Amino acid sequence: MKQVDTIGELKKELSGERGGKIGFVPTMGALHEGHMSLVDRARRENDTVVVSVFVNPTQFNDPEDLRHYPRTIEADLDLLRAAGVDYVFTPSVEEIYPEPDERVFDFGLLDKVMEGATRPGHFNGVAQVVSRLFDIVAPDRAYFGQKDFQQLAVIRELVRQTGADVEIVECPIVREEDGLAMSSRNTLLTPQHRIAAPDIYKALCKARELKSKMSVRELEKWVTDEIDKNPLLKVIYFRIVDRDTLAEANNWTDGKLKQGCVAVTAGNVRLIDNVYLG
């Protein structure tokens, strides 16, 4: 595995790999099994695997959140080496943004609801970094987790708008044994909040069962109340949306596939999760 810090060096290395397929996994590091499931899949499906580890400042709307974001680069490098990654790209902020990125994307509804409504500018920052990384790596396939369900919708739209020649591969959510969706942020939970956090997924699972007995609005309220019953958790939103457009669902019978998406604060840690509701 080669660790590369500069765009110039990465492009030079990859110019020799263009005969085969290049798979790319963008991450912000503090890697766990969720990230590694993307890496393993990229390893199986491509000749060359590139992973980026870059904590992108433009997608953080809260400077404190950026400051506290976990950084474990030595452990990350060990995991990536063991997984057979070819190149790990670890650029500095100046390397990615030599000048401030002023681009403003228009994703319509996709970046206005849920995470977009509660984290202003977040998806614009995600689009900035992903489009830069796609330009640099020019991968054949890029791997993203369904854990960040809304992010996937935004990235699909970004690819459509920019015409980037890359296949977006969606990977299922990897969970802890108690159901909590794996996240770099889980390491920031206090022991008490870590014990409380699996209640989020428990409520999502129950929602799947209750769906036939409640209207969409009733179920949204039920899930919110159920999670909020735990005094250590506070729901920011729970929305049942159209899987493609992210428009709020109004009934179960419109023939559209639906996803239930939740954001919760556990102490001062923000957790997200989602579930397919058919």
The catalytic residue positions are: 35
Site for ligand AMP, residues 14 to 43, rule: CB under 6 A: 27-28, 34-35, 37-38
The answer to whether residue 224 forms part of the interface with ligand AMP (CB under 6 A) is no
Buried b (16+ CB within 10 A) or exposed e, 44-69: eebebbbbbbbbbebbbeeeebeeeb
Task: Please tell me whether residue 68 adopts helix, strand or coil conformation.
Answer: helix
Please report which residue ranges of the chain form alpha helices under DSSP H.
7-15, 33-45, 63-68, 73-82, 93-96, 115-118, 122-137, 149-162, 191-196, 199-210, 216-228
The answer to whether residue 144 forms part of the interface with ligand AMP (CB under 6 A) is yes
Dihedral angle sign, alpha carbons of residues 223, 224, 225, 227: positive
User: Dihedral, CA atoms, 39, 43, 47, 51, nearest 10 degrees?
Assistant: 20
CB 19 to ligand AMP: min, Å: 27
Binds ligand AMP (CB under 6 A): choice among 58, 183, 186, 224: 183
**Which amino acid makes up residue 71?**
R
The answer to whether residue 123 forms part of the interface with ligand AMP (CB under 6 A) is no
The answer to whether residue 171 forms part of the interface with ligand AMP (CB under 6 A) is yes
Using CB under 6 A, count the residues that bind ligand AMP: 17
CB atoms inside a 10 Å sphere around CB 135: 12
Calpha distance 226→229 (Å, rounded)? 5
The answer to whether residue 182 forms part of the interface with ligand AMP (CB under 6 A) is yes
The answer to whether residue 148 forms part of the interface with ligand AMP (CB under 6 A) is yes
Tokens of 50: 């590139």
CB 106 to ligand AMP: min, Å: 22
CB 79 to ligand AMP: min, Å: 13
Nearer to ligand AMP, 182 or 207 (CB): 182
CB 141 within 8 Å of CB 167: yes
CB 172 to ligand AMP: min, Å: 7
Nearer to ligand AMP, 185 or 234 (CB): 185
Binds ligand AMP (CB under 6 A): choice among 119, 147, 193, 194: 147
The answer to whether residue 127 forms part of the interface with ligand AMP (CB under 6 A) is no
